[in-house]
Amino acid sequence: MNNNHNQSIPADVLELVNAKLSEINVALKPYVITLSPDERHSMLKVGDKSISFVDKTYEYTKTNPEFIPTFMNVAEFGIDLADLKGLVGTSSLVTQLSNAVDDTMMTAGSEAYYAALYYYKSVQQAADMNIPGAKAICEELKKRFPSKTRKAEVVA
């Protein structure tokens, strides 16, 4: 078994990270928005090319205000653009951190699950050989894998 995750993250490091993330959450809370899945799905998506288009358009509202629709609030357009551009770097850092944490959790979880399965298989073999204590452990651990009964097929 190849063990890629072989150094435990110290509890004090995790406590520090969680405290810092809580601070970040509190600092951003008044400014961030939470969307439902339907809201996310219905919105226009912005990528690098779109940001450039939006930025250029905003500049035109300043140099050529005669084309601004009466229903459009340019000040709010400016706020939206500033936060969009300001959050790009933040989003990138958060995504990198999230991916690293998810990858580490996946690796640690996979390796721990393999180890548990190896142990369980060993206990099963020991129980089959009537080694004292193995049967009780095997019975407890096999609760994780409830057997599925198959219905008998009806032959016509």
Structural domain contains residue 5: no
Q: How many CA atoms lie within 13 A of 151 on its CB side?
A: 3
Structural domain contains residue 3: no
| Signed CA dihedral, 134, 139, 140, 142: sign only | positive
Structural domain contains residue 150: no
Structural domain contains residue 133: yes
Structural domain contains residue 93: yes
Distance (Å, rounded) from C-alpha 102 to C-alpha 26?
A: 23
Structural domain contains residue 151: no
| Cβ proximity of 30 and 138 under 8 Å | no
- DSSP designation for 71: T
Which residue shows structure tokens 């690293």? 100
**What is the pLDDT confidence band of residue 148, given thresholds at 50, 70 and 90?**
confident
The model's pLDDT over 75-111, given as tens digits with 9 standing for 90+, comes to 999 999 999 999 999 999 999 999 999 999 999 999 9
What average pLDDT does the structure give for the chain?
93
3-state secondary structure 25-63: HHHHCCCCCCCCHHHHHHCCCCCHHHHHHHHHHHHHHHH
Q: List the structure tokens of 4.
A: 């890629």
**What is the pLDDT confidence band of residue 31, given thresholds at 50, 70 and 90?**
very high
Report the domain count for the chain.
Answer: 1
The boundaries of the domain holding residue 87 are: 11-144
Q: Crossing angle, helix 74-128 and helix 134-141, to 10 degrees?
A: 150
Structural domain contains residue 18: yes
Structural domain contains residue 116: yes
